[in-house]
Amino acid sequence: MVSMLRSSIEMSKQAALKKAKELASSAPVVVFSKTYCGYCNRVKQLLTQVGATYKVIELDELSGGYELQSALGHWTGQSTVPNVFIEGKHVGGCDSELFSLLVVTCLSNFHGLS
């Protein structure tokens, strides 16, 4: 009985990982987010300001969102949101190089810098 339960849990983890990978590759830029997260909102605002087309996956509004976030953590080593992917590749979150890059891009766009 315990072995059947363990097997079922492993299948669920594998399904969540498969779904996370599919979602991460479903648009040029994908942001795994939570609606109440200030850091997530900051990244989404910056992406909008630089004119990026992006897809948002709000984990707190998604059935199985907890499992997806757990799978993302195991896959990328980052268990927090925002969790950002570009062309299916993990690039980090708000406290990473991504945020710095987006800030520089925004400033460049607003001040005509290159």
In terms of pTM, does the model score above 0.85? no
**Of 16-20, 56-60, 66-70, 105-109, minimum mean pLDDT range:** 105-109
Alpha carbons 101 and 91: distance in angstroms, whole number: 11
CATH code, domain carrying 106: 3.40.30.10
**DSSP label at 84?**
E
CA distance to 2, 40, 71, 93, per residue, from 102 (Å): 48, 13, 26, 11
Domain that holds residue 83: 2-111
- State the total domains in the chain: 1
3-state DSSP assignment of residue 20: helix
102, 43 Cβ separation under 8 angstroms: yes
Quick check: 113 pLDDT over 60? no
pLDDT digits (tens, 9 = 90+) for 29-75: 899 999 999 999 989 988 888 788 899 999 999 989 999 999 999 99
Specify the pLDDT at position 46.
84
pLDDT digits (tens, 9 = 90+) for 67-102: 999 999 999 999 999 999 988 989 888 875 666 766
